[in-house]
Amino acid sequence: MKRIRYMVFRNLILVPIMWIKLFYYAAHAEKYTDEQHSKMLKFIVKRANKGGNVTIDIHGQENIPADNGFIFFPNHQGLYDVLAIMEACPRPFSVVAKKEVEDHFFLKRVFACLRAHTIDRDDVRQGMKVITEVSNEVLSGRNYIIFAEGTRSKNGNQVQEFKAGSFKAATKAQCPIVPVALIDSFKPFDTNTISPVTVQVHFLKPLYYEDYREMKTKEIAVLVRKRIEEAIQKAA
């Protein structure tokens, strides 16, 4: 990936220090609070973005719930998505990701610091266990990102179908659902260029439990996807 190499080159002095720190934090995740992990990762992401000609255009931070214990549901464009939200969001969060991400040398450490959960899409029982664990953690005050599309889009800013099962953790926790519209988040890592790029992160108005308690998860999925599509079309 050309831009990642460019990010490394333009932060050459800091890279060894931050790489060692990232590995240490990842290997000893239990020693640090979510806030400490978040602060360390934000520093790395901001330096990488500056070096890689990536600008994060942030909208709607006021829509993030005042109390912890909510789930972000963004559209999924590429490997960069979590890093874009990390710079844009002032609060710590964790992630539910597909198991294959554990093979990525950098994201594996980032997700270890986030104490993320990974889902094996071929193992239904393991997936249900993850949903239960995530809902319990949300009830205890942790925040999460869940990509309801299940896999990243190959069509730029077009949004794929949202899977109803992705919302089970939210309905079990009865927590706020925060739709997040990502625009051009595929460009930093999924295009072969180092030209300046702006990634838009739009935090949309949340759905609270009283808003969706009578809805089926399939209906919630359709509604959240629609709101994200509308935000993307409006901003385009």
pLDDT at 8 over 90: no
Q: What number is the average pLDDT over the span 178-188?
A: 96
Task: Name which residue leads in pLDDT, 110 or 153.
Answer: 110
Give tens-digit pLDDT for 61-91: 999 999 999 999 999 998 899 999 999 999 9
pLDDT at 54: 95
Q: Quick one: DSSP state of residue 47?
A: H
> Under a CB-based contact definition with an 8 Å cutoff, are residues 66 and 142 in contact?
no
Q: How far apart are CA 33 and CA 29, in angstroms?
A: 8
pLDDT at 206 over 80: yes
Confidence of residue 117 (pLDDT cuts 50, 70, 90): very high
pLDDT at 22: 94
The neighbouring-strand residues paired with 72 are 145, 178
Out of 15-19, 107-111, 207-211, pick the least confident: 107-111
Long-range pairs for 214-219 at CB < 8 Å and ≥24 separation? 216/164, 217/164, 217/165, 217/167, 217/168, 217/171, 218/164
Q: How far apart are CA 131 and CA 168, in angstroms?
A: 7
Q: What is the DSSP string of 1-15?
A: -HHHHHHHHTTTTHH
> Under a CB-based contact definition with an 8 Å cutoff, are residues 178 and 71 in contact?
yes
Tell me how many degrees the CA angle 149-94-65 measures, rounded to the nearest 5: 85
How many alpha carbons lie under 13 Å from residue 67 in its C-beta half-sphere? Answer: 8
Percent helix / strand / coil, the chain, rounded to 5: 50, 15, 35
Which amino acid type is present at position 142? R
The helix-helix angle for 2-9 and 34-51 (nearest 10°) equals 100
Give tens-digit pLDDT for 126-165: 888 999 999 999 999 999 999 999 888 888 899 999 999 9
State the average pLDDT for the chain: 92
Give the list of residues 6+ apart from residue 235 with CB closer than 8 angstroms, or none: 59, 181, 183, 200, 202
Out of 8-12, 92-96, 219-223, pick the least confident: 8-12
pLDDT at 1: 67
Give tens-digit pLDDT for 30-60: 999 999 999 999 999 999 999 999 999 999 9
Give tens-digit pLDDT for 14-24: 889 999 999 99
Q: Closest Cα partner for 130 from 151, 113, 115? A: 115
Q: How far apart are CA 31 and CA 204, in angstroms?
A: 33
Burial 90-101 (b: 16+ CB within 10 A, else e): eebbbbbbeeeb
Q: Quick one: DSSP state of residue 200?
A: E
pLDDT at 11: 87
Give the list of residues 6+ apart from residue 37 with CB closer than 8 angstroms, or none: 25, 29, 92, 113, 114, 115
